[in-house]
Homo-oligomer: A and B are copies of this chain.
């Protein structure tokens, strides 16, 4: 019997099945430093323990939060060996909420529940919907999210399961956002944060070209992807694809776009939710990544805190026209990522 992990195939999943993913992972200050080396991030909360304290995030002895996307990538990476090792495609995300900030010393583990199954008409694959939850060493939820992936069948003759397609919210309702304990932007230091713009300075429909670009390299995305213990072979092995290119982990593009968005959204300090997202096209070493954002919605959270719903778009080559779709309604050439998030900003 082979001892290596073959991953799960479509017929291995059943509604209600709960999978406890392996390799719990302790977050450290080393992760923060590497994240800052890999992405041009400058958001003041993860950059400065003093700033984080000034907005109430280290009250009651808690540590200095790391970027939400560090927690997201680690928690997500844990699901890969069980959920998407035999995936044809990552189809979508929904209802991703960040609960309590993750700090160095926290150990994250992830479990997933199968909440939907739908075999494709070709009989060779199917769509698996899971709700995944990452918890820390005290059992508190750090984040949870849904995603759906298309997975190969091992045996095309295996019977199709009953079709269950979950109803997923197209956007997390503002009242369902989790605001970190203690967060208060009342004495927010705009000078330290880097920009003067607050909640009221952003209008629904406004687009922001983040201007800066970064050309991707293979060593950098491999360092990042390994750091999250995501071991999908296409990211590391030039012999795994006919073209000899390493496919860049979609999360690398998410983090790059988020970091680039500092220029214009420096006060979008915390990501509260990911409403959805599409990896529109693959990215490879040599591509130069730019980003633009669009304000999709706004919501008042408290006296000092507002939430901006932002479309964050990563492109290959700069698109100053910030065009999402072409005349035929398809994604415009160059669009790599179309992400929909809620971010918390000072009012």
Contacts and interface: CB of A to CB of B under 8 A. Distances in A.
Interface of A: 2-5, 20, 22-26, 28-34, 36-40, 42, 44, 47-51, 64, 81, 104-105, 107, 109, 137, 191-195, 197, 201, 208-215, 217-220, 222-224, 226-227, 229, 231, 233, 236-240, 246, 263-266, 286, 288, 317-318
B26 A226 contact: no
Given A2-B264, A213-B236, 18 more contacts: A22-B42, A22-B192, A24-B44, A24-B47, A24-B48, A24-B51, A29-B33, A30-B30, A30-B33, A42-B229, A49-B107, A212-B231, A212-B233, A212-B236, A215-B236, A215-B246, A217-B222, A218-B219
Which 3 pairs of residues, A with B, have the shortest CB-CB distance?
Answer: A30-B33, A22-B194, A28-B29
A104 B30 CA distance: 11
A329 B209 CA distance: 47
Contact of A25 (B37, B48, B246): B48
B22 A32 contact: no
Given A3-B208, A30-B32, A222 B220 contact: yes
A215 B238 contact: yes
Contacts of A197: 3
Nearest to A212: B233
A38 B40 CA distance: 17
Contacts of A105: 49
Nearest to A22: B194
Contacts of A224: 37
A76 to B, nearest CB: 14
Contacts of A222: 214, 217, 220
A54 to B, nearest CB: 10
A341 B51 CA distance: 33
A236 to B, nearest CB: 5
B4 A24 contact: no
Given A44-B22, A81-B194, A220-B222, A227 B3 contact: no
Given A23-B44, A44-B23, A49-B26, A36 B226 contact: yes
A219 to B, nearest CB: 4
A273 B160 CA distance: 50
Nearest to A104: B29
Contacts of A137: 49-50
Given A218-B217, A233-B213, A263-B4, A24 B239 contact: no
Contacts of A2: 209, 264
Contacts of A49: 26, 105, 107, 137
Nearest to A36: B227
Given A3-B197, A50-B137, A192 B23 contact: yes
A126 to B, nearest CB: 24
